[in-house]
């Protein structure tokens, strides 16, 4: 049924964004649409439907997938529902939800890359999100195929630094 302009503010487009934009650009005041009234109150389901529709047309970048699944989670979808709706393994859902929490600075670094990081790699970046040097080392390592090795080296360096700082902190507290 046609979507009237007054209804546009109340409707969420789940599938057909490009068709709607094209119709608006050509000046159409009505656009054929299927309204799913039973889904109107299911915001998590709407996000999952959008994820599914777009993933099968044009592959989403891993960070886009992460953001979409995080939106569904924030809207109330359980991990189990996300898994069932997407067909992803539990570890992939966890990686996506973790990766979506990356800071704007880290996201900018990722956007500047000439290649895509996997969801697992993006999730690892969250461990080092507050360390721009570590992020730079990891993104460079991803390019050369040594991502996991570099991540482990960074973890070991972090652990060694914490071990060296512990006696200093204890001695400082003791005066």
CB of 44 closer than 8 Å to CB of 81: yes
Question: Nearest to residue 37, comparing CAs of 71, 14, 58?
Answer: 14
Inter-CA distances, 105 with 99, 114, 154, Å: 13, 17, 19
Flag residues of the chain having pLDDT under 70.
Answer: 1-17, 34-40
Residue 19: predicted pLDDT:
74
Residue 37: predicted pLDDT:
67
Would you state the structure tokens that stand for residue 115, as one six-digit string? Answer: 């290649």
Residue 14: predicted pLDDT:
64
Residue 8: predicted pLDDT:
47
Would you state the structure tokens that stand for residue 5, as one six-digit string? Answer: 């302009």
């Amino acid at each position: 049924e046609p979507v009237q302009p007054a209804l546009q503010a109340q409707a969420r487009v789940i599938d057909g964004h490009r068709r709607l934009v094209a119709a608006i650009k050509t000046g159409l005041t009505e656009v054929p649409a299927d309204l799913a009234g039973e889904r109107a109150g299911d915001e998590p389901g709407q996000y999952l439907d959008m994820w599914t529709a777009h993933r099968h047309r044009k592959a989403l970048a891993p960070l886009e997938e992460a953001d979409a699944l995080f939106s569904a989670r924030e809207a109330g979808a359980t991990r189990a529902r996300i898994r069932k709706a997407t067909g992803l393994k539990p570890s992939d859902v966890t990686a996506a939800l973790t990766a979506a929490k990356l800071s704007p600075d880290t996201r900018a670094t990722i956007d500047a890359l000439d290649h895509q990081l996997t969801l697992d790699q993006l999730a690892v970046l969250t461990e080092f999100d507050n360390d721009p040097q570590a992020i730079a080392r990891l993104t460079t390592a991803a390019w050369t195929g040594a991502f996991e090795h570099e991540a482990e080296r960074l973890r070991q360096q972090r652990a060694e630094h914490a071990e060296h700082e512990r006696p200093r902190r204890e001695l400082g507290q003791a005066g």
